[in-house]
């Protein structure tokens, strides 16, 4: 009876409250506990979004703290070991390198979590190198013979061969006139030039040297004197004495090849390398252009924007 009377009284109060003008019902009363100005506040929404993002970040961190080692990863480790050591790893070795990989992965994941990869010049350069390597790999296909021939014809001067000279030499470190005359007479008579003159680290015979190579070995003055010998009618005979950075020499020109453009088969491998390199440069330029189209470059605080 008491419970029934209380419930009836409550219903009466609710009915009377609902019928009173100016009094809010229960739903409206609950909403009025939180003023509308709170929901309109930028600070309220800022705090709410911040709490949501913090929760998501924490959830993400908790879920990402996993190091997965599967059969494929172990197989890669085994193959790497075999490539380096020349034989497959034993069970103990495989277990050891697997644990080492896990340790390394733990360091790696924790370094990423701490943001150690950010603003690091070495990491930045390494990533750029890897991306460029992938570009090179994608454009390193060997060209066909027709393409090689076309490239060679368009770039013939690039493969021009320098003049080359094959000659023999006799070094005289102490060029007294009488000694020079005696050596010249012996050479003209056909004596063994390899046993004449002063000992040195120089060779008795040089084969197919370019002017630059001769200048490196003997000096520029020697090259000039050698050219005079080549222009003379006696280049097959012993000529000299000619000065060099080592002393003076008697020389005999055995062969001379003027500058020429070789046939394609003589430089085919070089042409292929140059053509692949050109393809790679073009690919890199095109790829970089595409990146510039995909990214918006913002130049802040620059006095003169290009």
Residue 49 has a pLDDT of 59
Residue 244 has a pLDDT of 94
Is 194 within the bounds of a domain? yes
Are 237 and 274 contained in the same domain?
no
Are 87 and 112 contained in the same domain?
yes
Are 147 and 269 contained in the same domain?
yes
User: pLDDT tens per residue, the chain (306 residues)?
Assistant: 444 443 444 444 344 444 444 444 544 444 444 455 545 555 555 555 566 665 555 555 555 578 888 889 899 999 999 999 999 999 999 999 999 998 998 988 888 888 888 888 898 888 888 888 877 776 667 788 999 999 999 999 999 998 999 999 999 998 889 999 999 999 999 999 998 889 899 999 999 999 999 999 999 999 999 988 888 766 678 988 999 999 999 999 999 999 999 999 999 999 999 998 888 888 888 888 888 888 888 878 766 555
Is 252 within the bounds of a domain? yes
Question: What is the residue-wise DSSP string for 42-95?
Answer: HHHHHHHHHHHHHHHHHHHHHHH------HHHHHHHHHHHHHHHSSPPPHHHHH
SS (H, E, C) 222-250: HHHHHHHHHHCCCCCCCEEEEECCCCEEE
Are 180 and 243 contained in the same domain?
yes
* Other beta carbons less than 10 A from residue 241's beta carbon: 17
| Domain count along the chain | 3
Residue 10 has a pLDDT of 41
Region of residue 70 (phi > 0: left; psi between -120 and 50: alpha; otherwise: beta) = beta
Domain ends where: 118, 140, 172?
118
Residue 188: CATH number of its domain: 3.10.50.40
Are 56 and 171 contained in the same domain?
no
Are 167 and 87 contained in the same domain?
no
Residue 155 lies in domain? 123-160+263-292
Is 134 within the bounds of a domain? yes
User: By the 8 A CB rule, do 226 and 251 touch?
Assistant: yes
User: By the 8 A CB rule, do 254 and 168 touch?
Assistant: yes
Are 274 and 130 contained in the same domain?
yes
Residue 230 has a pLDDT of 85
Are 175 and 253 contained in the same domain?
yes
Are 197 and 252 contained in the same domain?
yes
């Amino acid at each position: 009876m008491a419970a029934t009377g209380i419930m009836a009284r409550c219903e009466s109060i609710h009915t009377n409250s609902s019928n009173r003008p100016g009094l809010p019902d229960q739903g409206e009363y609950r909403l009025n506990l939180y003023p509308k100005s709170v929901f309109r506040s930028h600070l309220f929404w800022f705090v709410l979004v911040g709490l949501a993002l913090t929760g998501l970040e924490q959830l993400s961190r908790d879920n990402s703290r996993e190091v997965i080692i599967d059969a494929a990863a172990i197989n890669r480790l085994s193959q790497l070991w075999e490539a380096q050591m020349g034989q497959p790893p034993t069970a103990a070795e495989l277990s050891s390198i697997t644990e080492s990989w896990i340790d390394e992965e733990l360091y790696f994941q924790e370094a990423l979590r701490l943001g150690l990869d950010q603003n690091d010049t070495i990491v930045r350069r390494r990533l750029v190198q890897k991306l460029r390597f992938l570009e090179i790999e994608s454009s390193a296909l060997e060209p066909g013979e027709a393409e090689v021939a076309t490239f060679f014809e368009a770039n013939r001067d690039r493969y021009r061969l320098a003049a080359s000279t094959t000659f023999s030499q006799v070094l005289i470190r102490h060029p007294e006139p009488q000694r020079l005359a005696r050596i010249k007479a012996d050479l003209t008579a056909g004596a063994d030039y390899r046993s004449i003159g002063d000992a040195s680290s120089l060779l008795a015979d040089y084969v197919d040297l370019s002017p630059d190579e001769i200048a490196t070995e003997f000096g520029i003055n020697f090259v000039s004197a050698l050219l005079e010998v080549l222009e003379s009618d006696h280049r097959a005979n012993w000529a000299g004495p000619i000065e060099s950075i080592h002393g003076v020499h008697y020389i005999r020109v055995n062969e001379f090849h003027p500058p020429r453009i070789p046939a394609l088969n003589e430089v085919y491998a070089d042409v292929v390398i140059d053509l692949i390199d050109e393809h790679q440069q073009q690919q890199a330029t095109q790829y970089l252009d595409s990146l510039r189209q995909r990214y918006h470059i913002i130049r802040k605080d620059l006095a003169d924007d290009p």
